[in-house]
């Protein structure tokens, strides 16, 4: 079983090592079309042994078993430490040494998100790399549970979330995660036309879950839902 996240890390390592300027040049060196190579990196095409063999063969110092989740990336760990210390910016260091993508958090994690350390987030088992979500500023994914947002969101779907600052405008009717002191709620937000100090929180499945009103002061944080991964 090959680890797609580690394949992506290795490709970024090759770019840093100047085997190519970008994914397209790495693809060409491996004998693949850019579009097909992108499909592999995005998980749309399954990783094959022949692909892994070609990828690891670019550098004899690559530890092939690392792709399957064991050991370190380079056979020479000292070389890894030396090269990483010479990297010009934090982004490249993160791409090589840390998990890439958006962490999948539990509901309890979101409640205490502001207190989670970077190390605690890095310990999360599941990461998903979806470039479009990251480009929109997403910070994490969370799995939907329950039926309050049916049929728009079903139990098991993953939603990508971005923290909303206090200065940002709230877009009425959009889906947000609202963090209260001890729990979160996924819903659409509307103004309360009768009381400007409250929001109207609306579930998609409004026949079972009627709208509720909440004081703005009760809300600790807001996270805008910027993307959805549907689970069929």
Q: pTM to 2 decimals?
A: 0.59
Amino acid 99: pLDDT: 58
**Two tokens, residue 37:** 């190579």
Domains recognised in the chain with CATH numbers: 4-100 (1.10.260), 131-229 (2.10.109.10)
Which of 1-10, 102-111, 165-174 comes out lowest in average pLDDT? Answer: 1-10
d(CA 84, CA 78) in angstroms, rounded, equals 10
- Tell me if residue 103 falls in helix, strand or coil: strand
pLDDT class of 82 with cuts at 50, 70, 90: very low
Q: At 73, list the tokens.
A: 């990336």
Residue found under tokens 């600052």:
165
Tally the C-alpha atoms within 13 A of residue 114's C-alpha that lie toward its C-beta: 11
Question: Is the model's pLDDT at 170 over the cut of 90?
Answer: yes
pLDDT value of residue 76: 59
- What is each CA distance from 31 to 17, 57, 97, 166, in whole angstroms? 19, 13, 27, 49
Q: Are 130 and 229 in contact (CB under 8 A)?
A: yes
How many C-beta atoms lie closer than 10 Å to residue 130's C-beta? 18
For the chain, state the CA radius of gyration. Answer: 21
Over range 87-94, report the average pLDDT. Answer: 50
- Calpha distance 158→27 (Å, rounded): 30
- Residue 23 tokens read as 């994914």
State which H helix or E strand residue 162 sits in. Answer: strand 158-164
């Amino acid at each position: 079983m090959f680890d797609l996240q580690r394949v992506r890390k290795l490709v970024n390592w090759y770019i840093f090592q100047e085997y190519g300027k970008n994914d397209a040049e790495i693809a060409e060196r491996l004998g693949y079309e850019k579009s097909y190579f992108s499909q592999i990196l995005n998980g749309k095409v399954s990783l094959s042994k022949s692909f892994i063999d070609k990828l690891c063969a670019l550098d004899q110092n690559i530890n092939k078993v690392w792709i399957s989740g064991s050991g370190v990336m380079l056979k020479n760990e000292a070389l890894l430490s030396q090269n990483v210390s010479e990297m010009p910016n934090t982004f490249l260091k993160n791409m090589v040494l840390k998990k890439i993508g958006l962490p999948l958090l539990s509901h309890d994690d979101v409640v205490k998100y502001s207190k989670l350390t970077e190390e605690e987030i890095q310990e999360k088992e599941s990461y998903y790399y979806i470039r479009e979500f990251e480009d929109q500023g997403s910070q994490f994914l969370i799995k939907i549970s329950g039926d309050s947002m049916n049929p728009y969101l079903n139990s098991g779907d993953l939603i990508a979330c971005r923290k909303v600052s206090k200065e940002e405008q709230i877009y009425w009717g959009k889906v947000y995660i609202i963090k209260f002191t001890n729990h979160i709620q996924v819903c659409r937000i509307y103004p309360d036309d009768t009381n400007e100090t409250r929001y109207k929180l609306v579930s998609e499945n409004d026949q079972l879950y009627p709208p509720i009103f909440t004081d703005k002061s009760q809300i600790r944080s807001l996270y805008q839902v910027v993307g959805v991964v549907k689970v069929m």
